[in-house]
Amino acid sequence: MEVNKHSNKFYNAFRVWVKEADNGKAVVFLVLCLLLAVRLTAFGTIPGGLNQDGAMAAVDAKALAEYGTDRFGTFMPAHLRAWGYGQMSALLSYLMVPFIKIFGLNRTAVRLPILIASVLGSIAVYGTVKKVSDVKTGLAALLILAVNPWHFMQSRWALDCNLFPHMFVLGLFFLISSLKPDSASGKSREAGSAADMASGRKGKLYLSMVFFALCMYCYGVAFYMVPFFLLISCALLLLQKQVKWKEILICLFVYFGISWPVYGTMLINFMKWETVSLPFVTMEFFEGSVRSADILFFSENIGEQLLGNAKSLLNVVFLQKEDLLWNSIRDFGPMYRGTLPFVVLGAVLTARGAVKEENRARKTGCQLLLIFWICSLFTGLVINDININRINIIFYIHIIFAAAGVSFIIKKWKMAVYVFLTVFSFQSGMFFHAYFTDWSGEIERAFYGDFLDALEYAKDCDRGQYFITPDTQYEGAWNVTEILTLFVFEVDARYYQGADGSGQEGELPYREKFLYSNPPGGEALPEAVYVFKSPDMDKFAGGNFNLTFFGDYSVAVPVTEPESSP
């Protein structure tokens, strides 16, 4: 009897689960679990090594956590100096601060913000698609996202520009959630209930502006995308009486109230004005910036560059040709080969919904999705020679379109669901196998895995001075060598700026302690530790050093410690 009682409870619980699954809730939960599970697998170790831009963002985040400045001493910068000639957006570094404070400076801590943003972006896509279409299409979008190569790969390493699409799609979700339905309040509703609905709608509208404003701190490309999207969307919503002028003014206040420091920084650099320091933010002038060379409007031959940009857009986004190693895995592309027909079908269905959909909110939502797509394509045309990172804003809308196309076919032919599940399972299985095996070895080498191992070893062999090879990313790349060294050694920002020592008595100043130079041509100094390219090991012959090899790099440590001064 007791067994039957428990069996009945289990059966009843299973029936409830199935009923919820029909409504999408339980299935959505399971797909989110799948999405998280694959992203958390070996999260801190694959990709191995560390990209130099991610290390730079982390080093500045550590300085912000400790002193409220970047590593150069600039107080609360709206935009990071980064490499000097090529700056970096600041939001990722600010988001890293609490994780570095809690977990310390390590790969897991610096990658967590982009992982969380990716998961939130996935949920926002599900919510957006559900509102403009239905639950099943939203579930299809979430399932595609769970195993999508682009979304998976970018969520597992720290790169500032990869925050952009997530902040944007969060803003889009709240914007579409704020749309008025066919009837703002039915006759049977109480006036108070209608007022609550209007208040909630406005709150979502203003919250969308927060995320659109944060986009400006994610990637410079946002300046060629977000303002145009908001301007066109504003005109559309005004014409359809979805918003009033008062609400538009409040939206402008929220958007510029958050983003004006980074707009001010761009204006200062365009006009070549001096740095402006305020009690809560710094808008810095950067000498020697070359970022304008990335934009079509600053090209010497605009017509020729436009054709080149269109070709890059076609190759990277639509044909999914091979890209940089860290952006995609060959033979898979950012969205799997064979998805283009579903993207095109989904775009056509969305365009039809933008014209013929009877539900007012869904019709406007479809129109906003098309504006999103058009602005993304425009961005791909004005950014020179795009790669997957530079055009990352387009992949969410293509995933939404693909989900719409897949869902449409399944509704017409129910057996198609098994075909799609089989194909996606096979493709994703092959992709994840490649990612965690062959590709992981390739990316570790590309992300300086051997060099970082050598630095970790050298860190524990301090003899007072380090000679570290500058030949990492390329011959003479001392700035890349330096940023990776700052990360591994967790160099204090004020010590880096020139303060005496870093807490140890008698320690040399930073510029004397860390010398980014290859081993000297003559006899190596016995007072220093050397991190060098392995082929240079002949410079340490003679038995005065212990040599330890780490693949492409090696460490030479003096056999005996130097005698202390009297």
Token code pair at residue 452: 């970082």
SS (H, E, C) 252-312: HHHHHHHHHHHHHHHHHHHHCCCCEECCCCEECCCCCCCHHHHEHHHCCCHHHHHHHHHHH
pLDDT of the residue at 467 = 94
Cis peptide leading into residue 47 (ω within 30°): yes
Q: How is the chain split into domains, by residue range?
A: 1-40, 41-321+336-438, 449-558
**Cα–Cα distance measured from residue 284 to residue 80, given in angstroms and rounded to the nearest whole number:** 8
pLDDT of the residue at 21 = 46
pLDDT of the residue at 283 = 97
pLDDT of the residue at 9 = 56
**Cα–Cα distance measured from residue 449 to residue 132, given in angstroms and rounded to the nearest whole number:** 45
**Cα–Cα distance measured from residue 343 to residue 348, given in angstroms and rounded to the nearest whole number:** 9
| Dihedral sign of CA atoms 534, 536, 541, 547 in order | negative
pLDDT of the residue at 290 = 61
CA 153, distance to chain mean position in Å, is 10
Token code pair at residue 447: 């992300």
pLDDT of the residue at 407 = 95
pLDDT of the residue at 417 = 87
CB 177 within 8 A of CB 129: no
Q: Give the CA count within 13 Å in the CB-facing half-sphere of 396.
A: 33
pLDDT of the residue at 193 = 57
- pTM for the whole thing? 0.91
pLDDT of the residue at 536 = 85
Token code pair at residue 308: 């080149």
Mean pLDDT by 10 residues, the chain (566 residues): 52 50 72 94 94 96 96 96 84 97 96 97 96 93 96 95 97 96 51 62 96 96 95 96 95 97 94 94 86 70 89 94 92 91 96 94 96 96 91 97 96 89 93 96 95 96 91 93 97 90 70 88 76 88 84 89 48
CB 421 within 8 A of CB 27: no
Report, in angstroms and rounded to the nearest whole number, the Rg of the chain calculated over CA atoms.
Answer: 27
pLDDT of the residue at 396 = 98
Q: Angle at the Cα of 56 (from 50 to 58), degrees rounded to 5?
A: 80
**Cα–Cα distance measured from residue 366 to residue 370, given in angstroms and rounded to the nearest whole number:** 6
pLDDT of the residue at 214 = 98
